Structure 1
Amino acid sequence: MPEPTRYGGRLEGKVAIVTGAGAEGEGIGIGRAIATVLAGEGARVCCADLDLARAQATAERIGRTGGAAFAVAGDVSQAGDCERLVAETVSRHGRLDVLVNNVGISPPTRLDSFDEALWSRVFDVNLKSAVLMSRYAVPAMTAGGGGAIINISSIAGMRAHGSLAYGASKAAMAQLSREIAAAYGRAGIRANTVAPGHVMTSHVEHLMAAEMRETRRKVGPLGIEGDAWDVAAAVTFLASDEARFITGVELPVDGGVTAIAPLAAHGLIMGG
């Protein structure tokens, strides 16, 4: 995936945390793309990941292109780690302006094979992590006059995709954004949700058959394939002062898939 055009300086002087910022090898996942683009626009970025080596790889990649980033390991489903991530970022840079809650897992879950422990794990990683990170980020942002929280959800939280726990947890993230927006707007904090869908990442590329990939392309009104950089562009806009009057929204980044009806989608597939 080629890197996107850089506009330069939209986040100059801002400090950001991106959770789930690592990726395997040189691959481009959504977290790595977000961290890279935020840094490319001038932000100093904390690349947080459960796997320190993956986070370091992202920070080093950013450094090679002239950006500022550092890596921190942490399990963001644990309150102590979330508090530490925020504290270390503020200690290094004196402020926190942007939080991107990007961590997520999507094991298959169904009612007829319900596993309570797996359900809890999905909600801990996907939702509780965003709650905890926001819990510690909000005071730091308030102290600096405000900030932006962007929760990475999925169109699986807007339309049923056949994964019970994942879909429910991602739907809840959009409501979390709205609650934060309502409660902390007067403190200068904006909270929004980005919902990717039908996006190709290095991880998905290894899992998806070519035929399915082509079907996904055809079903979108634009007829093209999205990638992690498209998600990063949406996040960067919402993190920037250009979005100063936008809060509490859920923005699908899906090529229009959630905007059309099933029969229209069928027609697009048949028409190529």
Structure 2
Amino acid sequence: MRLKDKTAIIIGAGQSPGEGTGNGRATAIRFAQEGALVLCADRDLASAEETARLAGNGAVAIEADAMREASLAAAIAEAVRRWGRLDILHYNVGMSLAGGDAPPTEITEEAFDRVTAVNLRGFVMAVKHALPVMRQQQEGVILSISSAAAVESYPYVAYKTTKAAMIAFTEQVANQNAPHGIRCNTILPGLMDTPMAVDTRVRHTGRSRAEVAAERDAKVPLRRKMGTAWDVANAALFLASEEAGFITGVALPVDGGRLVQIG
């Protein structure tokens, strides 16, 4: 019960179509298993409701659009209205190929703006509305999902640049809010077997899921096997808990040793 009596909002608690479990859903379930009251926010309300059902422990769902500041503000206000405080903000929204991402010579203005709005601007806006609550409490945890793509070779420009910017923003928030007892960290998943990572590529390339998965597995040093959403969820649980009470401003790789290969 590492999060007993804590309240959390997970932005992006639903998941993309495909096989298995996504990072947001797995994290909501792990937080609830460890005692947290979880508000599952997603633009797909039905998917968020399914996550809340699976999480249990009084988890509830709310519709929220990461591309609209007012929607994010309303979701955070609902968590505070419902439980009187906000202990954990976890921003789990992201896109690449699904948003039209492409190499630098092929990216369109519309695709770049769309991916940036979801990956980066939404994170900034969610933090904007969570910070006053946490500062008043003089404590709180802010988490996000960046990516190993931020620091390794990655062909698509909008995803890489926004995920790198998330690390810089994490460091800024951690530094400026440490006197308020607020910790801010981000997670860098590597090659993961999630619907967003694998099934989106299946739809985009027309290849089989087995083929896409095998290609990704072969690139992972640890056991030549991708990680799962539960690996990300367990990292988020650690960072949200008091076990990480002296950790802030960190970008934590969860990648099976892939970043070790590039130093």
Structure with more contact order per residue of length (Cα contacts < 8 Å, sep ≥ 6): 2
Give the structure-1-normalised TM-score: 0.88
Q: Does residue 1:210 correspond to 2:210, yes or no?
A: yes
Residues 1:21 and 2:6 aligned together: no
Partner Cα distance (1:173, 1:118) in 2: 18
The reply on whether 1:253 has 2:245 as its aligned counterpart is: no
Residue 200 of structure 1: SS of its match in structure 2? coil
Q: CA deviation at 1:140?
A: 1.0
Given the alignment of the two structures, is residue 198 of structure 1 paired with residue 191 of structure 2, yes or no?
A: yes
Contact 2:144/2:187 (8 A) holds in 1: yes
How far 1:82 moved relative to its partner?
A: 1.4
Matching residue within 112, 133, 136 for 1:119:
112
* Alignment-mate amino acid for residue 191 of structure 1: C
Aligned counterparts of 1:49 and 1:26: Cα–Cα separation in 2: 19
* Structure 1 portions without partners, runs of 5+: 1-8, 263-272
1:212 to 1:44, Cα distance in 2 relative to 1, 3 A = same
How many residues are aligned here? Answer: 251
- The match for 1:238 is 239
- Structure-2 residue corresponding to 1:221: 221
Question: Per-residue deviation at 1:197?
Answer: 1.0
Match of 1:73 in 2: 63
- Once residues 34 and 135 of structure 1 are traced to their aligned partners in structure 2, the CA distance between those partners, rounded to angstroms, is 22
Give the deviation of 1:213 after TM superposition: 2.4
Residues in 2 aligned to 1:55 and 1:25: alpha-carbon distance in whole angstroms: 15
Instruction: Write out per-residue CA displacement over residues 187-245 of structure 1, whole angstroms, 9 at most, x where no aligned residue.
Output: 01000110111110144444264344234333322113310000000001000011011
Deviation at 1:105, TM superposition (A): 1.0
Residue type at the aligned position of 1:226: G
Displacement of 1:28 after TM fit?
Answer: 1.0
- How much has 1:98 moved relative to structure 2? 0.4
Tell me how large the CA RMSD over aligned residues is: 1.7
What TM-score results when the alignment is normalised by the length of structure 2?
A: 0.91
Q: What corresponds to 1:95 in structure 2?
A: 85
Letter in 1 for 2:9: I
In 2, are the aligned partners of 1:151 and 1:174 still within 8 Å (CA)?
A: no
Distance 1:212 1:52, change over 3 A: closer
Please tell me whether residue 175 in structure 1 is matched to residue 168 in structure 2. Answer: yes
